[in-house]
Amino acid sequence: MRADTSETDPVSLLRSEAEQRASMITVTSMRVDLDLTSATLEGAAGELFASTTTIDFRATPGGRTFLDFKGRRLISATLNGTALPAESWRNGRIELTGLAEANTVVVSGEMAYSSDGEGLHRHVDPADGHTYLYAMSFLDAAPRWFACFDQPDLKSPYAFEVTAPEEWTVIGNGPAEKVGPGRWRIVQERPLSTYFVTLVAGPYASVRHRHDGIELGFHVRASLGEQLQAEAKDLIEVTSQAFDYYHRTFGVRYPFGEYHQAFVPDFNAGAMENPGCITIRDQLIYRSRATTAQRAGRAGLIAHEMAHQWFGDLVTMTWWDDLWLNESFAEYVAHRCCTDATRYPLWMEFGIRKDWGRIADQAPSTHPVAGNGSADAQAALQDFDGISYAKGAAVLRQLVAYLGDDVFLGGLKDYFARHAYGNAEFADLIAAWTRAGAVDLDRWAANWLRTSGLDTLAVADGAVRRIAPADHPADRTHAIEVARLDEGGAVAERTRIQLAGTPHPALSRSKGLIVPDAADETWAKIAFDGGDWPRLTAVIGGITDPAIRLVVFNAARDAVRDAALDPAEALRLILAALPAETEDVVWEAMARFARTELTGPYCPPAERAARQAELHRVTLAAMAAAAAGSDRQLLAFRAAIPTAADPELLRGWLGGETLPAGLELDQDLSWGLVSRLSELTGDAGLIEERLAADRSALAEQHAARARAALPTAEAKAAAWELLLRPSTGSAYQVYATAEGFFRPDQDELAADYVRRYFDEIGATAGFRTGWALGRTAELAYPYLAVSEEILALAEQTLAGDGLADPLRRALIDGTDRLRRAVAARRRFG
Ligand SMILES: [Zn+2]
């Protein structure tokens, strides 16, 4: 044991500590020197790197504070030239005492590369053996790669000096300049918060472009370089259009100089909004054919991260309790930007994504969008979910309906101008909107943003009424459209209403189906009368307005989960709807819901084969009806593969003999076929054969998923080891294994593991942390084991104490899903 290695675990920063520290110090400059060649470290090539940080800061003289350092080893630390004792480093913090008015602290450490996507992540590409690095500092991982005062409201300019292998490209939050062989300097004069400082280094392949005076860079690992070239035109177009849109809309130009988008491996989130250099998952540089709907989703993500350059990066939240505001805002504005300024209209996708938020808002773990307090940094992460994104964005959309666009945008411009390069709170934004003309916004926010849960808009006797949830009552007025459909599904009548406390009798004078929120504008659950469902099934194929179909589908998903709609009837509705559905994003989501839920946990095992066969027939018919080479043909084929039960059919497709014209067996389709075929037949050789033909990182994930799904005791035992024991596998391989493990039709094989999941999952906190810990538990949750007995076991596990927070959250949500399936089976069989 070396005296300079801390034996204590880092602790999460308390809000009170952050407030105290911010009142005491001002950071004036950050200089970070990294050696990524390991030349200065002994015998640890590839595992460790050297990091030296020099921080200039002003302080209340005589005071004390601490900085954050989560290295492997502290080599040295000095404050104003005096060495600090090794014991000053504890719990991931270095104590600083006897501060002067102007101070300089220098910290040198040995740091470990990470494999879980947080800190400085290291990936070796199996395609060619090249090494790629990228840094993810969110939410409190910055001290894993450099010493700092890690909180959002201690911003500072940064200068990085980096030593890297000669052939590497190095980029970061500011322009990167090569100053010597393998030596780079990156300077960002604009103040940055620690959580969005990044570095991307490796033999990345790049495309560069210039738009409206802004240098654009797109980067991906070399083995995807050709694919990046193919995607570059679309990426450049969307990025340029979004810049133009935000410049028009926000009244402040993009402030960080160059704008890089690094597509990186093993990325946990969709993307991260580091100023000047976003990191984004490299699955979005497609290796296989992608549909327009996929590209639209990618455009939404690009526009989302760009919106953050203003909202989050230019003006940053003071503390994590306003994290929701960053996400809700970026989500809402990005959908608007793509719809108004690119060729990817996104409101349908917005409506589909709302399901994510409605599930979260009806789970026992629900919480208000705003104002949870976030007593410490890690607590904030627990509330970072579908409520922050989908619900928050939908509520902002209602806010725009309430304020009007002029007030909404006027307030935003005021907010950016007033708080540029600094920090602000939600109250500051409310004040800005109020200055722009908003009235009574505090009351509005209390009802929509500071109260959990959602209203139900119910149709009964031809009238629409608002029902507030009993456990979270609130007074919300919904600005919505109501439509009446005729016998064929066409809109016979449509009207705008303000729905508050009293039922709205609109349209009650006529017969026909009434659809509340017909334009999908509010945040609510739509409940049809029980007798309406067979009538909706009868007309769904004739409803010509896509937004109305979307509202019906979302209502069906909620009603199934509430045990208010027989899953068999929901399946009839979807099967009747798919042939006429014009929106690919909706078609894909509803076919997926039918497969994963209606023929999964919401289906009695005895009926599973028959329901799956029906769904399969509909996907085959959709393939046959679609034009050769069309997106719909591809979507239908993708949906047909996992519902196929006949190995001969799959073999014919895989061999190419019976593959319909217009489809080509690219990597993804080949993997889909091999996965399904090996799951049905138990033939592990197929997976290894495919892997020999495709040595990419993505192939390793496909293989991990397929191996876990094999119907043999040996395969399950091996997969279980990967899931529940420490290993050197990447987090992505663990996620893929979790996704493949519990499969329909493997109940007997899985029975023991269902019980073991609840016994053993708690111990994974001993070797996994953060995102990877919760995500693995969530993906591996045995939600197909629908029985009262397993539900009781799950509840008993939750009642015990000692579960780490991310595990507890994953188990609460998984158990809510299981409980709903049990209730539906109790009622409908
Ligand atoms: Zn975001």
Q: What is the pLDDT of residues 398-431, one digit of tens each?
A: 999 889 999 999 999 999 999 999 999 999 999 9
Distance CA 96, CA 88 (A): 8
* Sheet arrangement for strand 156-163: 82-83, 73-79, 102-112, 48-59, 25-35, 156-163, 183-192, 176-180
Residue 508: band (very low, low, confident or very high) from pLDDT cuts 50, 70, 90: low
Distance CA 528, CA 518 (A): 13
Closest to 670 measured CA to CA, from 683, 686, 658: 686
CA of 326 to the centre of ligand 1 (A): 6
User: Which amino acid belongs to residue 4?
Assistant: D
DSSP 81: T
The set of residues, in sequence order, having a beta carbon less than 8 Å from that of 660 and lying 6+ positions away, is: 623, 624, 628, 633, 637
Q: What is the pLDDT of residues 87-109, one digit of tens each?
A: 999 999 999 999 999 999 999 99
Question: Is residue 669's pLDDT more than 90?
Answer: yes
Give the CA count within 13 Å in the CB-facing half-sphere of 162: 27
CA of 350 to the centre of ligand 1 (A): 15
353: left (phi over 0), alpha (psi -120 to 50) or beta: alpha
* Sheet arrangement for strand 89-90: 65-68, 93-96, 89-90
* Averaged pLDDT for residues 706-732: 94
User: Which amino acid belongs to residue 23?
Assistant: S
* Averaged pLDDT for residues 291-306: 98
Residue 463: band (very low, low, confident or very high) from pLDDT cuts 50, 70, 90: confident
Q: Are 6 and 92 in contact (CB under 8 A)?
A: yes
Residue 353: band (very low, low, confident or very high) from pLDDT cuts 50, 70, 90: very high
pLDDT at 282: 97
Residue 383: band (very low, low, confident or very high) from pLDDT cuts 50, 70, 90: confident
Distance CA 59, CA 25 (A): 4
Residue 382: band (very low, low, confident or very high) from pLDDT cuts 50, 70, 90: confident
CA of 324 to the centre of ligand 1 (A): 9
CA of 552 to the centre of ligand 1 (A): 29
pLDDT at 239: 98
Helical residues (DSSP H) of 685-804, grouped into ranges: 685-693, 697-709, 713-724, 731-741, 747-760, 770-780, 788-799
Q: Are 622 and 636 in contact (CB under 8 A)?
A: yes
Task: Average the pLDDT over each of 28-37, 236-245, 270-279, 457-466 and give the range with the smallest value.
Answer: 457-466
Core vs surface per residue 660-680: b (16+ CB within 10 A) or e: eeebebebbbbbbbbbbbbbb
CA of 523 to the centre of ligand 1 (A): 20
Distance CA 328, CA 333 (A): 9
CA of 305 to the centre of ligand 1 (A): 6
Closest to 507 measured CA to CA, from 558, 570, 461: 461
Q: Are 794 and 821 in contact (CB under 8 A)?
A: no
Place of tokens 């006429």: 580
pLDDT at 3: 35
Q: How far is CA 353 from CA 270, 284, 295, 358, in A?
A: 14, 18, 16, 9
Residue 381: band (very low, low, confident or very high) from pLDDT cuts 50, 70, 90: confident
CA of 320 to the centre of ligand 1 (A): 13
Q: Give the residue numbers annotated as catalytic, written as ranges.
A: 305
* Averaged pLDDT for residues 193-220: 98
Which residues on adjacent β-strands are paired with residue 376?
A: 14
Alpha carbon 739 to its chain centroid, in Å, reads: 16
Reduced to 3 states (helix: H, G, I; strand: E, B; else coil), residue 661 is coil
**β strands within 36-182, DSSP E:** 48-59, 65-68, 73-79, 82-83, 89-90, 93-96, 102-112, 119-124, 131-136, 156-163, 169-172, 176-180
CA of 10 to the centre of ligand 1 (A): 26
User: Which amino acid belongs to residue 264?
Assistant: V
Q: How far is CA 286 from CA 226, 227, 403, in A?
A: 10, 7, 40
Core vs surface per residue 205-218: b (16+ CB within 10 A) or e: bebebeeeebebbb
Question: Is residue 373's pLDDT more than 80?
Answer: no
Helical residues (DSSP H) of 99-224, grouped into ranges: none
Q: How far is CA 232 from CA 205, 225, 270, 293, 677, in A?
A: 12, 10, 19, 17, 35
pLDDT at 46: 74
CA of 351 to the centre of ligand 1 (A): 18
Closest to 260 measured CA to CA, from 283, 241, 235: 235
The set of residues, in sequence order, having a beta carbon less than 8 Å from that of 177 and lying 6+ positions away, is: 184, 185, 186
Distance CA 722, CA 287 (A): 27
Is pTM beyond 0.75 here?
yes
Q: What is the mean pLDDT of the chain?
A: 95
CA of 311 to the centre of ligand 1 (A): 10
Percent of the chain having pLDDT more than 90?
Answer: 90
Alpha carbon 20 to its chain centroid, in Å, reads: 32
